[in-house]
Amino acid sequence: MRVTRWRWKRIFVWMIGLLVVIQLVPYGRAHSNPPVLQEPAWDTPGTRERVKASCFDCHSNETRWPGYASVAPVSWLVQYDVDTGRAHLNFSEWQRQQRHAVDAAEEVRTGDMPESYYTWMHAAARLSATDREQLAQSFEKMFGKRQGN
């Protein structure tokens, strides 16, 4: 019995040590919010507010960085999501082509966006079925529809 307890203690100590050491890896802690250059022409102020609550943390230069976003390995995941989200669609850099804007309505309508793990931790980002459909319709008005849909 002692050997098993000792083994678990060693595993626990190694895990704590590993968590401490990975805090030294800088990726995910250099959070930045570049300036907002240009937003899209919103169809209504309500659309902007809904998008701000549900999408801006990953799809704009106005990311709110929670405390857990500075603790590895979670910080790595948060930074990756923000980098990827901004690369696909950035509501703060509308002066450059946003190739994926036309996909936004379908992503929202099907429930692919916002991501479920994000809405689990951010209640304000949760969209009802009615909110989803209204937001999808607004996106279609603002950005158009993908051909064939």
Q: Is residue 49 one of the residues assigned to a domain?
A: yes
Q: How deeply is 143 buried, as exposed, middle or buried, from its count of CB atoms within 10 A (0-12, 13-18, 19+)?
A: middle
**DSSP class of residue 101?**
G
Phi, psi for 127 (deg, rounded to 5) = -115, 130
Q: What is the pLDDT of residues 53-89, one digit of tens each?
A: 999 999 999 999 988 888 888 888 899 999 999 999 9
Q: Is residue 14 one of the residues assigned to a domain?
A: yes
Q: What is the pLDDT of residue 2?
A: 61
Q: Is residue 148 one of the residues assigned to a domain?
A: no
Q: Is residue 149 one of the residues assigned to a domain?
A: no
Q: What is the pTM of this model?
A: 0.81
Q: Is residue 23 one of the residues assigned to a domain?
A: yes
Q: What is the pLDDT of residue 1?
A: 53
In terms of residue numbers, what domain contains 114?
2-143
Q: How many domains does the chain have?
A: 1
Q: Kindly tell me the number of DSSP H helices and DSSP E strands found in the chain.
A: 7, 0
Q: Which residues of the chain have pLDDT under 50?
A: none
Q: Is residue 83 one of the residues assigned to a domain?
A: yes
